[in-house]
């Protein structure tokens, strides 16, 4: 089949970029462990307050794990518990979160942290906080009349 020379060029470019993107996706998923924020763990949403670790929400320093701090967070209409935490700069933080009632969002504005909190499921996200500042946590899943007042704050300090 006759094919114009230029046509071969752009077909090569298109196919090449497809291959490159698939390779990047593969490296990101299998080598760097980038995955949806589901811990593959289930919880009875009606008894969140009684089930560990959600019976004691807050920031905890941990030893012997790949991360330095765990932020256990419970969302409910229309607040996050805890409402504010302070983490030292450079620390690796694992966020472990769930919701007691409806679907809530957990977005840390200006960062890559963005996940859904679904009743009955535990969402997790691990990251290293390498910049100081005050990072606002907002709900980005419409959850009811008080949706826009739902917030928390992660303060990264020196």
Partner 1 sequence: MANPELNRKTQTKVEDSSSLKGTLTSVLLLGGFLVLSWIGVFLLFINRF
Q: Applying CB under 8 A, what is the total number of residues that bind partner 1?
A: 17
Look up residue 102 and give its two tokens: 């409806």
* Size of the chain in residues: 158
103, 119 Cβ separation under 8 angstroms: yes
Residues 18-37 that bind partner 1 (CB under 8 A): none
Phi, psi of 56 (to 5 degrees): -135, 75
Beta sheet of 84-88, edge-to-edge order: 84-88, 151-157, 133-138, 104-108, 114-117
What does the per-residue mask of binding to partner 1 show for 122-151, with x meaning CB under 8 A?
Answer: -----xxxxx--------------------
Rounded to the nearest whole angstrom, what is the least distance from the CB of residue 68 to partner 1 in the complex? 14
**Binds partner 1 (CB under 8 A): choice among 1, 6, 36, 145:** 6
Q: Identify the CA nearest to 59 among candidates 45, 48, 49, 69.
A: 69
Number of Cβ atoms within 10 Å of the Cβ of 119: 18
Binding status of residue 9 toward partner 1 by CB under 8 A: yes
Rounded to the nearest whole angstrom, what is the least distance from the CB of residue 135 to partner 1 in the complex? 9
Residues 56-115 that bind partner 1 (CB under 8 A): 110-113
Q: Quick one: 6 or 50, whose CB is closer to partner 1?
A: 6
Residues that bind partner 1 (CB under 8 A): 4, 6-7, 9-10, 13-14, 17, 110-113, 127-131
């Amino acid at each position: 089949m006759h094919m114009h020379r230029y046509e071969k060029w752009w077909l090569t470019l298109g196919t090449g970029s497809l291959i490159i993107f698939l390779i990047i996706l593969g490296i990101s998923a299998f080598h760097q462990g980038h995955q949806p924020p589901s811990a593959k763990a289930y919880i009875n949403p009606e008894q969140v307050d009684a089930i560990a670790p959600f019976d004691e929400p807050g920031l905890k320093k941990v030893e012997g794990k790949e991360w330095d701090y765990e932020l256990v967070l419970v969302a409910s209409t229309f607040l996050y518990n805890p409402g504010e935490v302070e983490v030292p700069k450079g620390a690796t933080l694992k966020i472990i979160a769930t919701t007691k009632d409806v679907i809530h969002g957990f977005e840390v504005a200006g960062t890559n942290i963005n996940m859904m909190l679904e009743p009955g499921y535990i969402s997790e996200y691990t990251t290293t906080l390498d910049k100081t500042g005050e990072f606002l946590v907002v709900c980005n899943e419409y959850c009811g009349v008080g949706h826009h007042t739902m917030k928390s704050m992660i303060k990264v300090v020196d």
